[in-house]
Amino acid sequence: MNRLIIIGIALVLIGCQGAGLANTADFRTGTDGLEIAFLENAPPSELFAGTGAAPSEFQIGIGLRNAGAADIQDGVLFIDKVEFFTLEGKEAGSKQFFAPLAGKNAGNPVGEYKVLFFNAANTGTDAEEKIVTITAHACYRYQTTASVDICIDTTKPGPLDIEKSCESNKVNSLGKGQGAPLAVAEVKESIIPRQEGNELRLDIVFEDEGDRSDNEKVRRYTGSGCEGESSIFIKDIRFSDYSIKELGSKRIECKGVGFDGRELKMETTAATGADPEKENKIVCSVLLEKTLNPYLTPLIIEAEYGYQTEVEHTFKMISPEYISPDTARLPAAFFAEFCTTIAPKFHDLIVQYSAEFGIDPCLIMAVIEQESDFDQYARSPVGAEGLMQLMPATQKELGVTNPFEAAQNIRGGTQYLKSHFDRFSAKYAREEAIKMAIAAYHAGFKGVNRVVEQYPANWLDDHLTMSDATATTKGILTKDYTIQVIEKWKKYRAQAKEKV
């Protein structure tokens, strides 16, 4: 029993030690900084343009994560001006400050995350369909801190080889970054004997792994976070009692192409054969004071710089002036009045579920008229029930428990129509997919899909007239059903446009 107790205590101690190691993980690794991305559906992939009187309003959402090791205390996110759009009520671009944003640490190994929203609106377009690109920029101040042990050796070479505690003439590779886009990649240390003593030379290679840029769109936004965003400032290089900040014999002197003692420019290194925007080297030297023995000491390199990163989102904008029955949706401006006098009893339900499933409310109206002529309690000889004539198996699949309740029936029928559209639109153009979905609402997906795959060029015109169970249902040919629904759709669409 005592042995078991001892073993148990030992396991607990080992577990505690392991946890302690995990909490002391080095987060100054990698070359990530700020990451930004548009949120899903903000803005959506397809947007209907508004008008001056009824703008199409939506939100733009941007997620920001500080994936590096330095905290961001100074940063701004802004969105470029887009034609036909307003941002936060203004025609020009808009900006928001997002700092502070903490970097990776023991408590949060992936860095702090936050979301910013911009209110946007569209007032029209000059084309039937237009591809629009929204660009979001973030500019921020960031820091890199690198550390590597170097050997300080002030002893003079002698006639006898004496084993030293460290080696000074070597190249130190610092791996893959220090948790920041600007990385110290390599430090080469050399001892150069001089008459007055030993000189330490440090060749320090910087690599730029991110998107630092001279982007003029960033520079136009004056203020915190954007000024001098392309500059890299070497704040300090130090070890023991030596520093680039110290005066006198302990001051480290540094020089290099594109380096003025404070600011480091990457773009001036083309003559050296290095990537002119990604790498540069500075050379630092200092005369060492004499010590009895060589010793290891940490070399600390600190840099501060502005950075900018950007992300784009492309979506399709459709003008209400050009909308046809082949378009799957209508702009929000059409919802308010489209069927108030046509079917006032079901207006609110059709608006609600057309918006939920992204189906044109005028199309839902057309299907209801075709199926039941707005008879909430209609029942067909083959068993279809309610406004949108759902079969019992379809009701079960869609979770409809009472087909004669208008809300359940309209919701189920709209969802059923949308499911067919989604399946066909994955393979076919939207104009054809919506026609296929109407046909499938009547005859089922499998039968219509079989005809479409066999006769893709003229599936509706020539082949849905076959007296075939896969292409017809009792009472009406699927081709005729599809054409009649589309005609009713056009009728409701025309009435809706008159009301807007």
**Which domains does the chain possess?**
34-139 (2.60.40.10), 141-154+167-310 (no CATH), 325-499 (1.10.530.10)
pLDDT score of 19 more than 60? no
Average pLDDT value for the chain: 79
Question: What's residue 282's pLDDT?
Answer: 94
pLDDT score of 397 more than 90? yes
CA within 13 Å, CB half, 61: 10
Question: What's residue 332's pLDDT?
Answer: 46
> Is the Cα torsion angle 375, 379, 383, 385 positive or negative in sign?
positive
Question: What's residue 219's pLDDT?
Answer: 43
- 151 touches 294 (CB < 8 A): yes
Does the model's pTM come out above 0.75?
Answer: no
Which residue reads 């076959």 in tokens?
466
Question: What's residue 51's pLDDT?
Answer: 63
pLDDT score of 158 more than 70? no
Query: Which residue of the set 189, 207, 371, 385 is catalytic?
Result: 371
Q: Which two tokens stand for residue 6?
A: 């001892």
Question: What's residue 209's pLDDT?
Answer: 78
Backbone φ and ψ for 426, nearest 5 degrees, come out as -70, -20
The DSSP output letter for 469 is T
Cis peptide bond upstream of 320, omega within 30? no
Q: Please give the average per-residue pLDDT across 387-395, as a whole number.
A: 95
Q: Which two tokens stand for residue 395?
A: 């009701």
Give catalytic status of residue 371 as yes or no: yes
The tens digit of pLDDT for each residue in 350-368 reads 888 887 887 888 889 999 9
Residue with the larger pLDDT of the pair 66 and 139: 66
The alpha-carbon radius of gyration of the chain (Å, integer) is 35
Question: What's residue 43's pLDDT?
Answer: 85
Q: Tell me how far CA of residue 297 lies from CA of 152, 239, 293, 431, 469, in angstroms.
A: 7, 7, 13, 71, 86
Q: pLDDT confidence of 462, banded at 50, 70, 90?
A: low
Lowest mean pLDDT among 286-290, 339-343, 397-401: 339-343
Question: What's residue 426's pLDDT?
Answer: 82
Q: pLDDT confidence of 130, banded at 50, 70, 90?
A: confident
- At 480 the three-state DSSP class reads helix
Question: What's residue 222's pLDDT?
Answer: 42
Alpha-helical segments (H) within 66-132: none
- At 314 the three-state DSSP class reads strand
Which residue reads 């399946």 in tokens?
423
Q: pLDDT confidence of 13, banded at 50, 70, 90?
A: very low
pLDDT score of 467 more than 50? no
Question: What's residue 267's pLDDT?
Answer: 57
pLDDT score of 303 more than 90? yes
Closest to 412 (Cα-Cα) out of 423, 398, 431:
398
Q: pLDDT confidence of 399, banded at 50, 70, 90?
A: very high
Lowest mean pLDDT among 214-228, 297-311, 337-351, 468-482: 214-228
Which residue reads 């003025």 in tokens?
260
The tens digit of pLDDT for each residue in 62-102 reads 999 999 999 999 888 988 878 778 888 776 678 888 989 99
- Residues with Cβ < 8 Å from 65, sequence gap 6 or more? 34, 35, 36, 110, 111, 112, 113
d(CA 314, CA 43): 9
d(CA 363, CA 479): 17
What length does the chain have?
500
Q: Which two tokens stand for residue 131?
A: 């591809």
d(CA 98, CA 100): 6
